[in-house]
Amino acid sequence: MIKEFNTDGFRGNVLVYQDGELLYEYENGFADLANEIPNTIDTRFATASAGKAFVAVGILRLIEAGRLSLDDTIGNLLDFDLHGIDPGVTVRQLLNHTSGVPDYFDESVMEDYEELWVDFPNYKIRRNSDLLPLFINKPMMYPKGERFQYNNSGYVLLALIIEAVTGTEFDRYLKEKIFDVCGMDSTGYYELDRLPAKCASNYIFCPETNDYRTNIFSVDAKGTGAGGAFITVKDIIRFWKALSENKLLSKEMTETMLEKQSGDGADPEEGWYGLGFWLIDNPGGKDFAYFQGCDPGVGFISEYNRNNGIVSVAVSNYGDNVWEIMRNIRKEFYLSRNH
């Protein structure tokens, strides 16, 4: 066991598997703090931006079905006025965060996601199109393809492309083409005021009152292409298993998705990006692939070590440090199990 999980008071769930063998399981904290209902292995957690990985796989499935290509442009795919957004931005550029489209939550200048809802109530965000007013009239951040810059709006546009191509709401498409295929029966996009059973509330600590409040006024009322899926840790293991067994995409497309597409490697953990997934450079083998999310009261990370088959996931409904948990997993399991 990894002692750090128990000593740092991490609140949430952690799961580590290798080729179907359970290596580590951990549950702690309350899904419902006021009623002291504990988190369990079946608790559904919000995951913030982690949903971008599902959107990316959904887009790549459409490409493999011949309904889309990486070089298709938003000007040809979307039927609404893009205003100052370059219609020549490609699907590939949206996927690898090199599009330059205006980001409604630019993390390089905004620190707190709650800032978005001061003038625009979060309860209005229930569809991807509901986010358009937050960025559609802004200018491009830089010319398309010029550089990597993490971009939430890009994935909203990708979800709108899914809806335009399939005629189906993006979350229904993801359920049919990804979640159902993987057996992810507890994963979905739910409205905060209509949450199904076993969903954890997310908590933000308030120093001025020395207690916690929920994040219901801090995030979108329902997830979009930029993120917001609810998952269980077991469902995330099922997702990686299906990906690794080429049940979602061909082997070739999966390899393309998990290859360095953008970034400069300046940050050893966040320096590279594939298509929907972050990549950690591994000179001794295949790069480590992971996806992550962070919102007020939300922390999520899940990683796949393609060299030894280890899949791990850590999620907190208190915004605890999931990245430190993942570093511990790498330290404890990777070096001792064929890297």
- How many independent structural domains does the chain possess? 1
Q: What is the pTM of this model?
A: 0.95
Taking the alpha carbons of 245, 291, 338, 233 in that order, is the dihedral positive or negative?
Answer: negative
Residues of the domain holding 118: 3-334
Residue 40 inside a domain? The answer is: yes
CA quadruple 232, 236, 241, 242: dihedral sign:
positive
pLDDT in tens, the chain (339 residues): 555 555 578 999 999 999 999 999 999 999 999 999 999 999 999 999 999 999 999 999 999 999 999 999 999 999 999 999 999 999 999 999 999 999 987 766 666 676 766 677 777 888 999 999 999 999 999 999 999 999 999 999 999 999 999 999 999 999 999 999 999 999 999 999 999 999 999 999 999 999 999 998 888 889 999 999 999 999 999 999 999 999 999 999 999 999 999 998 888 778 799 999 999 999 889 999 999 999 999 999 999 999 999 999 999 999 999 999 999 999 999 875 555
Does residue 339 form part of some domain?
no
- Token pair for 219: 């995030």
CA 227 to chain centre: 6
Domain membership flag for residue 116: yes
Residues shown for the chain: 339
Which domain CATH number covers 275?
Answer: 3.40.710.10
What DSSP letter does each residue of 174-202 carry, written as one string?
HIIIIIHHHT-TT-B---GGG--TTBPP-
User: Cβ neighbours of residue 256 under 8 Å, at least 6 residues apart?
Assistant: 274, 275
